[in-house]
Structure 1
Amino acid sequence: MDQRLLNWGIFLLLCLTWGSSFILMKLGLLSFSPYQVASLRLISAGIVLLPFFFKFIRQTPGNKIPVIILSGLLGNGIPAYLFCIAETRIDSSLAGMLNSFTPVFALLFSLLLFRAPVQRRQLTGLAIGFIGVICLFLAKGVDTNQYWYYGLFIVGATACYGLNIALVHHYLKGYSTLQLVSISLFFMALFSAPVLIFSDFTQAIARSDNAWVSLGASMVLGVMGTGVASLLFYQLIRSAGAMFASMVTYGLPVVAIGWGLLAGEHVNGWQVLCLAGIMGGVYLVSRK
């Protein structure tokens, strides 16, 4: 198969996989608490990448393990719980829109913490992105959902993502994505297991008619949305380059909105307009 065609295939599969994560969280929350859904996600992802963990842990210097664990907390652990808490009150489509703000936070933390060189165009994009997020909150606030401010949990999650990107870029540059992801997700699964074990997880399965749907959605979320998607993203970076791979950010909200509409969620024109503004800011931030 032509390599360029294969790259586009992986790109579209990543957009579909990550863009579907938000509706899968909604399905998980039908029967389980946000803490249970997030824990199931992290445990499933850690298990599916376990063979890579055993391979890479022996090759990783001991002094880098704490940094990788911190990276796991910022890149997967904390955001998994924040997203699920947020989606108890807001639509999955809105969560997908706000997720597109990650590259802007990545630039902001690189600038503030590591004094990374920045261009005026990127600062303009940063300002546009912030304005877009504020307007998106206002657009949702005048809609039927009175809990729109739960979107702040998503903003907090994207801030974690952005800080993690800056951290990896400056302290873990010489390590492959697969190495970092497999090790970090092993520890995230380890940390989240007690949260699931000491909850009323078994009772939740017994008392809910949708328990197996929620369980399946949560496990698919972990295996596909975190585990397999990380492998695909790693392969896309290797074969097509980081710039092409980063464009996945632009496809996620489209898929999230599509799933939201199919699930009966309301998306108004103002929200789409605000999303366009955020994506414009992201484009200015990430463009070469």
Structure 2
Amino acid sequence: MNKQQQKWLYLVVLSLVWGSSFILMKKALIGLTPIQLGAFRVIITALFLLLIGFKKLKNIQKKHWKWVLLSALLGTFFPAFLYAFAIKGIDSSIASILNSITPFNALWIGAAFFSFSFKKSQLIGILIGLVGTVTLIMQGADLNPDQNYWYALLPILSSIGYAFNVNIIKKYLQDLDALAITTGNFILIIVPAILVLVFTDFFTEFQLNSETKSALGYIFVLAILGTGVAKILFNKLIQISSPVFSTSVTYLIPIVAVMWGIVDGEKLSLIQLLAGIIILIGVYLVNKKK
């Protein structure tokens, strides 16, 4: 299988896995707090990666570690908590659609901070996508008055972190194996994740019951497949493609996530669907070649 076929295969697999991650987070939050969800997701993934990728750590040189740390914080640690809080406040399908602005951020951040090329015509795509994003948030606030749509800012912040992450990997970690990068990421953030649990009194207040058992099961699947395996595939995708192409997975993710949301009884109006389509059109224009 050549690189062209590989990158499209990775894109489809990641869209299915990450598209299902939003409903898993929603279900896990029935028994756990957003802080606990974010911390457990990091800890379980780190333990899994230690088992399969510990030997790869020797490939990480001293010059790499600062970039591995930045990649870990911006691309994994903070988004794990931001998305947990977001899905506690708004529908999981809406959070997934907002995630699709990541390619826009990857484009302008790549140009502004990493000296990657930027076509002026792509600005049209960015502006179209922003119109769709604002429409989606405003319509969601009207449709679900009981939900606090300030939480919609959290997926947007996460997308900025993801955008920095892909550009860091593409520019500074291109010579590292994808498993080495992913394992290095989680080795650096497992201790902060444990400390988060300690300082939120988890170990003294947590009670094991039917809800928390189910929540831990959802987190286990989310951590192993949705974070551990998916992160390895994503880091590999970044290396064999461009930052903008790799983040294009975010406009396939909502298709899967919205289907799960509808199955779970979430409301989605026609205007919201149109806003989502507008965002996808914008992303398509950003990715379109001359």
Q: Fold conserved (TM > 0.5)?
A: yes
1:245 Cα offset (Å): 5.5
Distance in 1 of aligned mates of 2:164 and 2:3: 32
Q: Secondary structure, in 3 states, of the residue corresponding to 2:143?
A: coil
Paired residue secondary structure (1:81) = helix
1:26 deviation in Å?
Answer: 0.9
State the Cα distance separating 1:265 from its structure 2 match.
0.7
1:96 aligned partner: 96
Question: Hey, what's the Cα distance between the residues in 2 that align with 1:71 and 1:260?
Answer: 30
Q: Is the 8 A contact 2:19 2:257 kept in 1?
A: yes
Q: Map of 1:104-115 to 2, 5 A cutoff?
A: 104-115=104-115
Distance 1:281 1:153, change over 3 A: same
Any idea what SS the aligned residue of 2:59 has? Answer: coil
Q: Which residue of 2 aligns with 1:31?
A: 31
TM-score if structure 2 supplies the norm length?
Answer: 0.89
Q: CA deviation at 1:85?
A: 1.0
Q: CA deviation at 1:138?
A: 1.0
Aligned to 1:56: 56
Q: Distance in 2 between matches of 1:5 and 1:62?
A: 33
Tell me: CA distance 1:63–1:234, structure 2 relative to 1, closer, same or farther (3 Å).
Answer: closer
Distance 1:141 1:188, change over 3 A: same
Q: How many residues align?
A: 287
**Percent of pairs with identical residues:** 34
CA distance in structure 2 between the aligned counterparts of 1:199 and 1:62, rounded to whole angstroms = 33
Name 1:162's counterpart in structure 2: 163
Partner residue in 2 for 1:259: 260
Q: Is this contact kept in 1: 2:181–2:235, CA < 8 A? A: no
**Which residue of structure 1 lines up, in the alignment, with residue 216 of structure 2?**
215
CA shift at 1:4, angstroms?
A: 9.3
Structure-2 change in CA distance of 1:130 and 1:65 (3 Å): same
CA offset digits 1:213-245 (Å, max 9, x no partner): 11111121111101111234456678x856876
Residues 279, 268 of structure 1: CA spacing in aligned structure 2 closer, same or farther, 3 A cutoff? same
Q: Secondary structure at the match of 2:30?
A: coil
Confirm or deny that 1:274 pairs with 2:275.
yes
* Alpha-carbon contact 1:205-1:212 (below 8 Å) kept: no
**SS in structure 2 at match of 1:101:** helix
CA contact (8 A) 1:32 1:201 kept: no
Counterpart residue identity of residue 54, structure 2: F
Q: Could you say if the C-alpha distance between residues 205 and 45 of structure 1 is closer, same or farther in structure 2, counting changes exceeding 3 Å?
A: same
Counterpart CA distance in 2 for 1:204 and 1:10 is: 41
Partner of 1:127: 127
Between stretches 278-287 and 202-211, larger displacement belongs to 202-211
Structure 1: tracts of 5 or more residues without a match: none
Q: Which position in structure 2 is the counterpart of 1:16?
A: 16
Letter in 2 for 1:199: T
Task: Report what 1:199 is aligned to.
Answer: 200
Q: What SS does the aligned partner of 2:89 have?
A: coil
Asked whether the 8 Å contact 2:23–2:261 carries over to 1, the reply is yes
8 Å Cα contact 2:57/2:184 also seen in 1: yes
CA contact (8 A) 1:32 1:204 kept: no
Question: CA separation of 1:111/1:11 partners in 2, compared to 1, >3 Å: closer, same or farther?
Answer: closer
CA distance in 2, matches of 1:155, 1:5: 30
- 2:76 corresponds to: 76
SS at match of 2:144: coil
2:55 is aligned with what amino acid?
K
**Structure 1: distance between partners of 2:175 and 2:255:** 33
Give the Cα separation in 2 of the matches to 1:287 and 1:11: 16
Contact residue 38 and residue 80 of structure 1 kept, 8 A = yes
- Cα separation, 2, equivalents of 1:14 and 1:164: 17
> Secondary structure of the equivalent of 2:268?
coil
Residue in 2 aligned with 1:186?
187
Unaligned runs of 5+ in 2: none
Is the contact made by 2:106 and 2:247 (CA closer than 8 Å) also made in structure 1? no
